[in-house]
A and B are shown apart, each in its own frame.
Chain A
Amino acid sequence: MEVLSFLASGVLTALEPINLGLILIGVTVGLFIGAMPGLGSVNGVAILLPVTFLVPPASAIIFLAAIYYGAMYGGAISSVTLGIPGASTAVATTFDGRPLALQGRASLALVTAALASFVGGTVATVFFSLFAPLLATVALNFGPPEIFALMLLAFATFVGLGGDDIPKTIFSICFGLVLATVGFDTISGEPRLVLFDIQGFIRGIGFIVLAIGVYGIGEMLWTIEQTRGDITTTNPRMTAKGLASDAREAVRRGWKGTWIGSVLGFFVGVLPAAGATPGSLMSYGVAKMISKTPGEYGHGSPDGVAAPEAANNSASTGSMLPMLTLGIPGSPTTAILLGGMVIWGLTPGPRLFIDESEFVWGLIGSFYISNLAAVLINLAFIPLFVWMLRMPFTILAPLIFVLSIVGGFAASRSMHDLWLIVIFGLGAFFMRKFDYPLAPAVLAIVLGPIAEPTLRQSLLLSSGDPMIFFNRPIAGPITVVAIILILLPALRLLRRKRSVASG
């Protein structure tokens, strides 16, 4: 009951005129920042952090959290309408969101994303309110072996359930992981894989460079070449009735993915250093794994849009939990929020709930309000986003190229990276022609910086013994499931050969 009274006062704090105004502005700004390829919640929160020094700390963090929420909703918009993930958290949304847009069902994809995000955010906020201190303690028990096992599971779902050419899928994963190692060895501090001794590689290769190259350039070239430039992505049902019908369909065909994403996303989000990106990718994999129609995934399944979208919103709320209770950020965005809190004179940690309860519960209350504001503002803007798709492709295509290049530069501030985007784009086009799946490479470059240090730390802990991934109570079962998934295609092949041999 104590929680409920704290929560009620928190919601009232969030509804104060200044806070409500900041929520509405923050969500709208976040929505548009998230929708820009190359800019995500981390950019929005970082850029607008100085603005918050003008208001009290509670209002400041409410504003930044609202931007965070808005950007999570916004990431889906460019994934669906442009086929380019606005941020790493929206990579999985392109898998089914883009095919839906190409089938003329962009509004279904956007409505599904908005509703799933709302449910994901709300479920996570309820979890947050109820289990904050307890969950933080459990998450703290996740060491490097457990986190590496989770990463292994994420890759295994691609191999076991991808349905694509297995050697090409494995190539794609290894390629993405190698790209993530370019630059510096984070443990020894030595330069590593400075390709062809070009100094630009010392800065490493950012996820966004590969993602924009693959989706913004390569995929566009492939679409233009395949369709001879004559593609229609129009959506005829942009009336209020059409939106209502899409909303009904989104609920009917996307509820499973929504629940999986909402629950799984939260728990992955709570893990320090994990955050919304692995949460959304794992939710997509799990939703596909337990689906009765896994063949629909990748070709425009509403569940395939709902799972990652529910998960990234849920995880973004979850990632604030270790930040507030333990002072450990769960994502890059929460790392900036943490920096902001320190500047405002607050000390994140278990004492925060006691010493600054008004601040903490005001923030939790704002999650509910921000979530509601984000879904309403997002739904209101859907006709604008879908209108973009009605343009002739000979107008839309150059706009996508321009946004990719400009967004790519905004994210990296380097001409070297722009050339890499072009090279990756042309390479991706030819690899796509020969059926190399490229999504696993993008997944791998995102998860690589988490996977490598956790693997190396684990092996250091065990003096090089790989059994550390099998004999720990949490890491063990996760590793075994991952290995089974990796072996699944071989088992399937063996069974097929046996059945052919037997008749």
Chain B
Amino acid sequence: MRQGEISLAGILALFSLYLIWKSAELPIGFIRGQGPGGGFWPFWLSVGMLLSCLAIAWNWWRGNSPASVSDEPLMDAFGWRTVLHVGGGVVGFVALISVVSMYGAVALFLVYYLRFLGRHSWLLTLAIALILPIGLFFFFEGAMQVSMPQGLPFTQPFFDLMYDIIY
């Protein structure tokens, strides 16, 4: 945890420096007749972020924060595995949207999570993985008139069928 705290503060300080540099692309001073320039507000806020990171590093040096005096690892093997499986699942879910459509990705993600992470029965898994995307389709496309991504062309027959039902 101790090493992680200072590493995270370092990464955030670098990001703050990047934001300071990026903000300065617009004027950061006072322009007569126009007031503060477009970069003024984000520039000083980024400076505030950088100063906060320095204060966090100072607290770390002095051992003032709980993480800075902890010898425990950030996460044990189970924790890393869980984050990898669940976080990786969410990343995979979003990546699949452009391929198999939003509703297809929802169904696949539910099968992955319910069956392989949750170890629920196939009956329950398939029931939820089929009913929820269809319910979401009627809610968003039918009631709220919000179109979700339809993925690659091979999903079109499914959408044609569903649109025939709602229109």
Residue of A whose beta carbon sits closest to that of B49: A174
Contact, CB under 8 Å: B90 / A188: no
Q: Say if the beta carbon of A456 comes within 8 Å of chain B.
A: yes
Q: Say if the beta carbon of A392 comes within 8 Å of chain B.
A: yes
Residue of B whose beta carbon sits closest to that of A173: B48
Contact, CB under 8 Å: A193 / B91: no
B55 in complex: contacting residue of A167, A399, A401, CB < 8 Å = A167
Of the four ranges (under 10, 10 to 19, 20 to 34, 35 or more), the interface on chain B belongs to: 35 or more
Chain A residues with CB under 8 A of B74? 433
Q: Say if the beta carbon of A405 comes within 8 Å of chain B.
A: yes
Cα distance A190–B38 when bound, in Å?
Answer: 8
Contact, CB under 8 Å: B12 / A171: yes
Q: Say if the beta carbon of A142 comes within 8 Å of chain B.
A: no
Please tell me the number of chain A residues within 8 Å of chain B, measured between CB atoms. 61
Cα distance A83–B48 when bound, in Å?
Answer: 29
Q: Say if the beta carbon of A415 comes within 8 Å of chain B.
A: yes
Contact, CB under 8 Å: A174 / B46: yes
Contact, CB under 8 Å: B49 / A399: no
Do most interface residues of chain B lie in helix, strand or loop, or is the interface mixed?
helix
Cα distance A433–B3 when bound, in Å?
Answer: 13
B144 in complex: contacting residue of A192, A394, A410, CB < 8 Å = A410
Interface segment among A223-231, A267-275, A297-305, A315-323: the answer is A223-231
Contact, CB under 8 Å: A188 / B26: yes
Chain A residues with CB under 8 A of B93? 401-402, 405
B45 in complex: contacting residue of A177, A228, A402, CB < 8 Å = A177
Contact, CB under 8 Å: A464 / B42: no
Task: State how many angstroms separate the Cβ of B146 from the closest Cβ of chain A.
Answer: 5
Task: State how many angstroms separate the Cβ of B99 from the closest Cβ of chain A.
Answer: 12
Residue of A whose beta carbon sits closest to that of B39: A192
Residue of A whose beta carbon sits closest to that of B6: A434
Contact, CB under 8 Å: A402 / B19: no
Task: State how many angstroms separate the Cβ of A462 from the closest Cβ of chain B.
Answer: 9
Render B102-123 as a binary contact track against A, CB cut-off 8 A, 1 for contact.
1000100110011001111000
Contact, CB under 8 Å: B128 / A395: yes
Task: State how many angstroms separate the Cβ of B33 from the closest Cβ of chain A.
Answer: 8
Contact, CB under 8 Å: A457 / B35: yes
Residue of B whose beta carbon sits closest to that of A168: B56
Chain A residues with CB under 8 A of B140? 406, 410
Question: How many A-B pairs with Cβ below 8 Å?
Answer: 172
B66 in complex: contacting residue of A195, A395, A402, A435, CB < 8 Å = A435
Task: State how many angstroms separate the Cβ of A32 from the closest Cβ of chain B.
Answer: 9
Q: Say if the beta carbon of B63 comes within 8 Å of chain A.
A: no
Q: Say if the beta carbon of B132 comes within 8 Å of chain A.
A: yes
Contact, CB under 8 Å: A460 / B22: no
Cα distance A228–B94 when bound, in Å?
Answer: 24
B30 in complex: contacting residue of A193, A405, A459, CB < 8 Å = A459
Chain A residues with CB under 8 A of B120? 392, 394-395
B1-59: which have CB < 8 Å to A? 1, 4-5, 8, 12, 19, 22-23, 25-26, 30, 34-42, 45-46, 48-49, 52-53, 55-56, 59
Chain A residues with CB under 8 A of B83? 221, 225, 429
Cα distance A421–B91 when bound, in Å?
Answer: 10
Residue of A whose beta carbon sits closest to that of B4: A434
Render B63-93 as a binary contact track against A, CB cut-off 8 A, 1 for contact.
0011100000011001100110011011101
Contact, CB under 8 Å: A192 / B26: yes
Contact, CB under 8 Å: A178 / B45: yes
Cα distance A431–B8 when bound, in Å?
Answer: 8
Chain A residues with CB under 8 A of B42? 178, 181, 192-193
Task: State how many angstroms separate the Cβ of A26 from the closest Cβ of chain B.
Answer: 15
Contact, CB under 8 Å: B22 / A193: yes
Chain A residues with CB under 8 A of B41? 177, 181, 452, 455-456
Chain B residues with CB under 8 A of A175? 49
Cα distance A221–B117 when bound, in Å?
Answer: 14
A-B contact pairs, 10 of them (CB 8 A): A47-B144, A168-B52, A181-B41, A181-B45, A192-B23, A397-B86, A398-B109, A402-B132, A409-B97, A459-B36
4 nearest A-B residue pairs (beta carbon): A394-B118, A460-B35, A185-B38, A167-B55
Q: Knowing that A224-B86, A402-B110, A452-B41 are A-B contacts, what are 5 other residue pairs whose CB atoms are under 8 Å apart, sorted by A's residue number?
A: A402-B109, A410-B140, A425-B87, A434-B67, A460-B34
